[in-house]
Chain A
Amino acid sequence: MRKIAITRRQFIKGTALAGASAALAACATPAPTAAPAKKVSGKLTYWHHYTSESEMAGLAEGEKMFKAKYPDATVESLTVPNADFMAKFTLAVQGGSGKPDTTMISADRVPDMVGMGGIQDLTERLKSWDQRKNYPDKYFDAATVNGKIYGVPSFMFVDWMYYRKDWFDEKGLKAPTTFDEMFDAAVKLTDPAKGRFGFGMRGGAGGQGLVVQVIRAFGSPIVQDGKAALDIAKTTEALKWYTELYTKAKAVPPSVTNDSFRQILEAFQTGKTGMLWHHTGSLTDVVQFLGKDGTKFLSLPRPKGPATQIADWSPSYNGIVDKKNEDAGWAWLTHWADKDTQIMLMEKTGYVPSNQEAAKDERIAKNPYYTAAFKALESGTIAPQFPGQPGWQSSVVLPTFQRILLGELTPAAGATALAKGLEDAIAGKLK
């Protein structure tokens, strides 16, 4: 038998080579795969801002469905109130500990969360994701920063309107599809003797977004090429039409300047108002009071303005925070992007699926409320965003709108004030 002789030099060379190979193998990161990891195990943490009973029921059911797919995985979800979300997220990212593996992401927070290095780039995974075909590119726009995508849409908030079908039937009116029809219906439904008003206008906190939507529906741009582009004539017309629902037609409750979301919702629920503009997020709350058999109320896409129909939508994304558990995180994200999970969530909460396959499902197609949401989604778009927008809307648009409602300003003067405020806001000079 031949002896194999290894010299000391050969041994050192061999050991070095093997060590280097092992080190290289350890350093090389496998390319992220789009398919969910087949075996997901261990604990996965998820931060979200679901709080209501229906949302929590949807989340619990979603977790149960995930557990059925991945029995070895345990999801630990944590509710963080929306208002405090960014503070807590920033603390966890900057504090370097206590970060979740995955998180819910509001569309308007994506740039900040990317800026602090809080969420992971999903572009590569999305390229080969089998469900990608069910998601139009525009759904990812708000989650894209510098060409990289950071979130997968899990559901959408879609702007729409509710109307009291029984009141409309009583008066022999058809559901409004244009602003003119809506104005006319609001006037006809108003009956002070019965304590009824045609429209629940949001003239208090949060009403500013609706004013801007009306202006856009009258054909005025807001910002073009980063510059203020408000058309004074069209804005005047828009403000005139919208405020006259109250100032002239008296088809709006007199508390209008104090009415924020709670007030307009409760007025609709308790039979004070006949029409309400909001988004799909409030469906469960309306159903709770007015039933879901379609006899008392129905939902509709927002009526078309003189120039165009404005129906904004806003996606809610899920993203990966901690790279350490990336594969499990991706499994969680794709689980919430799945058609069945999204339909389940819609049934529990009324939140509209972002997966277009869901629209074809008979659970959706046969439900009149849900089909209205999908119609609105088809024609809608994401609301324009620009620097200074929150400040302009809350400190210029809302007070100006309220002053017109109170008769302190004319719509024309209001339009001029909005244009001036917009220029200041974009220039960063807003006081």
Chain B
Amino acid sequence: MAFQNFRNSQKSMRRLYDAIAYVIVACMLVFALGPLVWTALTSIKPESDIVTNEMQYIPTHPTTEHYVKLWNRSGVTTMFRNSAFTTTLTVVLCLLVGTFAAYSISRYRFRGRGGILTFYLTIRMFPAVLMLLPLYIMLRNIGLLDSLLGLALTYTTFSMPVSLLMLKGFFDAVPADLEDAARIDGCTRLGALFRVVMPLARSGIAATAVLIAVGAWNEFLFALMLTNSESSRTWPVVLQLMVGEFQLPWGLIAAGGMISIVPIIIFFAFAQKALVRGLMVGAVKG
């Protein structure tokens, strides 16, 4: 009987702890998803539901007018395309250069190895605005001012240090013995990198790619300062330009915000698969 009572009290305690845990998780979810849900709701509210005397939480007449209006604005599709292009190019450049550089620093012992890493990191220590004038002049001199390639190169410069540091960390975690075994089996150094190290570090490479993509997709300062024509501007500039001095079209801004997170969600969905797959491959081989 006493044992039964003990079991019952243990069960009810567990239920209480579960309930508390659910409440905490629910609070965290509300905190994390609240702004997103609010933005999504605002984007489908008519203007009369947005600016009201009393708060209107649920739209009375849901509408897609803000999305249509936004998409019909001149140049918006071009800017969206420009953002997709610069982001993709930045990710490719960063991963291409970063992978080789990080692998070299991780595997080779040479003079100035530590110095190179420090040098790369110092780039991040300066506020971006300080780099604007030299970057502007350099891009002008090589004819890449006001071009998407110039913008992607600039993003690469600023994303490289962090991606290098991250990738080096992931490569360090791959046991060198596996590579040695591959080389004994006849692999070249590059072959070992592509066939052994990169599959094992796939999760890290995917995480780095997500980080670079998010940074490049949302970047505003360089996108505004280093472009001089509508044809080479990117999506974050469109979003910023919606904020007028004396007018603030909340619905349009919310619709723009929703559109801008879609590519990131899609990209993350793909990267997440790679993250999981990379972990599993690593586990089996390890």
Residue from B51, B136, B229, B241 in contact with A76 in the complex, judged by beta carbons closer than 8 Å: B229
CB of A88 within 8 Å of the partner chain? yes
- What 1/0 mask marks residues of chain A from 76 to 116 whose CB sits below 8 Å from any chain B CB? 10111110100110011011111010000000000000000
What is the bound-complex CA distance between A81 and B244, given in angstroms? Answer: 8
CB of B177 within 8 Å of the partner chain? no
What is the bound-complex CA distance between A284 and B246, given in angstroms? Answer: 9
Residues of A within 8 A of B240 (CB): 81
A262, B248: Cβ atoms closer than 8 Å: yes
Residues of B within 8 A of A92 (CB): 228
B227 shortest CB reach to chain A, Å: 9
CB of B97 within 8 Å of the partner chain? no
CB of A10 within 8 Å of the partner chain? no
A59 shortest CB reach to chain B, Å: 11
Residue from B136, B146, B248 in contact with A91 in the complex, judged by beta carbons closer than 8 Å: B136
A266, B136: Cβ atoms closer than 8 Å: no
What is the bound-complex CA distance between A78 and B79, given in angstroms? Answer: 14
What DSSP secondary structure best describes chain B's contact surface? loop
What is the bound-complex CA distance between A152 and B137, given in angstroms? Answer: 31
B254 shortest CB reach to chain A, Å: 15
What is the bound-complex CA distance between A262 and B253, given in angstroms? Answer: 15
A87 shortest CB reach to chain B, Å: 7
CB of B200 within 8 Å of the partner chain? no
B245, A95: Cβ atoms closer than 8 Å: no
B232 shortest CB reach to chain A, Å: 11
Residues of B within 8 A of A98 (CB): 136, 140, 145-146, 228
B228, A78: Cβ atoms closer than 8 Å: yes
B245, A82: Cβ atoms closer than 8 Å: yes
A417 shortest CB reach to chain B, Å: 30
B224, A80: Cβ atoms closer than 8 Å: yes
CB of B122 within 8 Å of the partner chain? no
What is the bound-complex CA distance between A260 and B52, given in angstroms? Answer: 17
CB of B242 within 8 Å of the partner chain? yes
- What 1/0 mask marks residues of chain A from 380 to 418 whose CB sits below 8 Å from any chain B CB? 000000000000000000000000000000000000000
CB of B247 within 8 Å of the partner chain? yes
Contact status of A95 and B136, CB under 8 A, knowing A266-B51, A270-B53:
yes
A78, B230: Cβ atoms closer than 8 Å: yes
B252 shortest CB reach to chain A, Å: 8
Contact status of A272 and B225, CB under 8 A, knowing A87-B129, A262-B248:
no
B246, A270: Cβ atoms closer than 8 Å: no
Residues of A within 8 A of B228 (CB): 45, 78, 92, 98, 100
Q: Which of B228-286 contact A (CB under 8 A)?
A: 228-230, 240-249
A95, B146: Cβ atoms closer than 8 Å: no
CB of B133 within 8 Å of the partner chain? yes
A-B contact count (CB 8 A): 76
A52, B51: Cβ atoms closer than 8 Å: no
When C-beta atoms are compared, the residue in chain B nearest to A90 turns out to be B133
B224, A51: Cβ atoms closer than 8 Å: no
A108 shortest CB reach to chain B, Å: 14
A269, B51: Cβ atoms closer than 8 Å: yes
Residues of A within 8 A of B145 (CB): 97-98
A97, B244: Cβ atoms closer than 8 Å: no
What is the bound-complex CA distance between A195 and B55, given in angstroms? Answer: 14
Contact status of A51 and B51, CB under 8 A, knowing A95-B140, A281-B246:
no
Contact status of A52 and B246, CB under 8 A, knowing A81-B224, A91-B225, A272-B53:
yes
Contact status of A281 and B245, CB under 8 A, knowing A95-B140, A97-B145, A98-B146:
yes
What is the bound-complex CA distance between A51 and B132, given in angstroms? Answer: 24
Contact status of A97 and B140, CB under 8 A, knowing A81-B241, A82-B245, A281-B245:
yes
CB of A294 within 8 Å of the partner chain? no
Residues of B within 8 A of A272 (CB): 53
B222 shortest CB reach to chain A, Å: 11
B124 shortest CB reach to chain A, Å: 21
Residue from A76, A87, A261 in contact with B246 in the complex, judged by beta carbons closer than 8 Å: A261
A158 shortest CB reach to chain B, Å: 13
When C-beta atoms are compared, the residue in chain B nearest to A265 turns out to be B246
B245, A49: Cβ atoms closer than 8 Å: yes
Residues of B within 8 A of A91 (CB): 132-133, 136, 225
What is the bound-complex CA distance between A272 and B140, given in angstroms? Answer: 53
> Nearest 3 CB-CB pairs, A to B?
A52-B244, A52-B247, A95-B136
Binding site for B on A (CB under 8 A): 45, 49, 51-55, 76, 78-82, 84, 87-88, 91-92, 94-98, 100, 195, 261-262, 266, 269-272, 281-282, 284-285, 288-289
22 A-B residue pairs with CB within 8 Å: A51-B241, A51-B242, A51-B243, A52-B246, A52-B249, A53-B244, A76-B229, A78-B230, A81-B243, A84-B224, A88-B225, A91-B133, A91-B136, A92-B228, A95-B140, A96-B140, A98-B136, A195-B53, A261-B246, A281-B245, A281-B246, A288-B47
Binding site for A on B (CB under 8 A): 47, 51-53, 129, 132-133, 136-137, 140, 145-146, 224-225, 228-230, 240-249
